[in-house]
Amino acid sequence: MAAATAPLVFTDGFDHLTQPQSDQGKWTDFGSGWFVTGASTRSGSGQNAQVTSTGAPMSKHFVSAGYRAAVVGFAFKFNNASIDHTNLMTLESVENADVCMSLRKTSTDLLALYSGTTAETLLATGTTTLLNDTWYYIEVYYYIDNASGRYQLWLDGVSEIALASSQDTQIAASNSFDRVYFRGGAYTQSMDDVYIRAKTTDVTTPADEVFGDVNIRTVYPDANGTNRDFTLSTGTDDFAVVDEAIASETDYAYSSTAAHKVTMSTSNLSSGRTIYAVVLNTWVGMDTAGSQNIKHVVRSGTTDYASSSTFALSETARNEQTFYELNPDTAAAWTETNFNSAEFGIEVQ
């Protein structure tokens, strides 16, 4: 399998959340119909998101992104068979107020893919009848173009809707999307382990972009690291003020000095795992008005690697993500050994 050509732009495993937390600012919309629970989890997962309200939104908006190719993966379970769910997942253009693609669970419990809304063009329907109260892992690839469009769908890592090429997958003037939208159906449904890849041009080989049936594991800081430049609101251990599963501003580490860093080690991953990517999440903000930027930092081997992205902070703390599909120290896939010895943190700009 060759390397993916569409970068990761979002992930969520829901393991570090509670309600009402608006998903720690990770999602643009986390509608009131959705809640996070540790009940009925899939294997290897701590928590999942559930919804019982028809149309309740959970979405991620990528402002002015101009994305044309998407790969969206997520675990899904429903508890009422033979009920039509017309908008399980959609790609949308907020700018043009268009729905670019829709994924539907039909009343016969099949997955169906549409260009536009489910009232527009049916592209293909899967053949596997989805069972009640059963977790499935769904991955959708979609490229928007009025002549060279392509799409494919996988179920539990196996192609369910075959790759189709040279298709018209464009709706009106919307040749790009900027929002991925999940909606509740007329039954209880559960979701978990979401990832999104996106690109302004098409991918090379769609099968190289998907992970298959994956779990997103959440680990937390558990020890001080090499870089300890920040001041603590309380105590003497850096990790102890940021190790909460649910982000809290009652204790914290802080600095406004350029080049100050803080890095920490995390709890180890258990053995026998393949690591497809490491995603660094931080809950960051300012305590007063002004201008302040940070970068994420990974310390691997004996070197600190700052993220290419710079994050501008505001007085409202929010979640920021950086995606490392390769270990920056080796330019190769992560192993358990080099992950377990790495440190993660931030640097003031």
153 SS3 class:
strand
- Of residues 216, 235, 244, 226, the one with CA closest to residue 297: 226
**Is 1 inside any structural domain?**
no
Task: Tell me whether residue 192 is in a domain.
Answer: yes
Distance CA 301, CA 238 (A): 21
Assess whether 154 and 257 both reside in one domain.
no
Same domain flag for 204 and 234: no
The count of structural domains within the chain is: 2
Whether 324 and 186 share a structural domain: no
Q: Using CA atoms, how far apart are residues 191 and 123, in angstroms rounded to an integer?
A: 24
**44 shares its domain with 124:** yes
In whole angstroms, give the CA distance from residue 107 to residue 7. Answer: 34
Burial of 3 (0-12, 13-18, 19+ CB in 10 A): exposed
Q: Tell whether 2 is covered by a domain.
A: no
Residue 251: HSE in the Cβ half-sphere, 13 Å Cα cutoff: 13
Residue where a domain stops, chosen among 185, 208, 231 = 208
CA atoms within 13 A on the CB side of 209: 30
Q: Are 262 and 228 in contact (CB under 8 A)?
A: yes
H-helix or E-strand containing 339?
Answer: helix 336-340
Rounded Cα–Cα distance for residues 189 and 294 (Å): 38
The answer on 167 and 252 residing in a single domain is: no
3 located within any domain: no
Q: What does the alpha-carbon distance between residue 1 and residue 116 come to, in Å, rounded to a whole number?
A: 31
| Judgement on whether residues 69 and 197 belong to the same structural domain of the protein | yes
* CATH number of the domain to which 20 belongs: 2.60.120.200
Q: Are 84 and 183 in contact (CB under 8 A)?
A: no
Contacts of 108 (CB under 8 A, 6+ apart): 82, 129
Residue for token pair 């190790």: 243
Spatial distance between the Cα atoms of 114 and 123, rounded to a whole number of angstroms? 5
Tell me the β-bridge partners of 296: 346
The per-residue pLDDT for 303 is 98
Last residue of a domain, one of 208, 236, 259: 208
Asked if 22 and 149 sit in the same domain, the reply is yes
**Predicted local distance difference test score (pLDDT) of residue 20:** 45
* Together in a domain, 246 and 152: no
Final residue of a domain: which of 208, 230, 251? Answer: 208
Give residue-wise pLDDT tens across range 22-70.
Answer: 556 788 888 778 888 888 888 777 788 888 777 678 899 998 889 999 9
Q: For residue 175, give Cα distances in angstroms to 1, 99, 100, 144.
A: 29, 11, 8, 6
> In which domain, by residue range, is 300 found?
221-348
Residues 153 and 264 in one domain: no
Q: Tell me if the bond preceding 7 is cis, omega within 30° of 0.
A: no
Two tokens, residue 270: 């258990």
Picking from 230, 212, 222, 238, the residue whose alpha carbon sits closest to that of residue 136 is 212
Number of helical (H) and strand (E) elements in the chain, helices listed first: 1, 25
Residues 171, 91: one domain?
yes
Residues 267 and 222: beta-carbon distance below 8 Å = yes
Residue ranges for the chain with pLDDT beneath 50: 20-21
**Same-domain status, 109 and 233:** no
The CA angle 42-199-205, to the nearest 5 degrees, is 75
Return the beta strands (E) in 215-306 as ranges: 221-228, 231-232, 253-254, 261-266, 278-284, 293-300, 303-306
Which residues face 77 on adjacent strands?
A: 190
Is there a domain that residue 12 lies in? yes
Q: Note whether 50 and 191 are same-domain residues.
A: yes
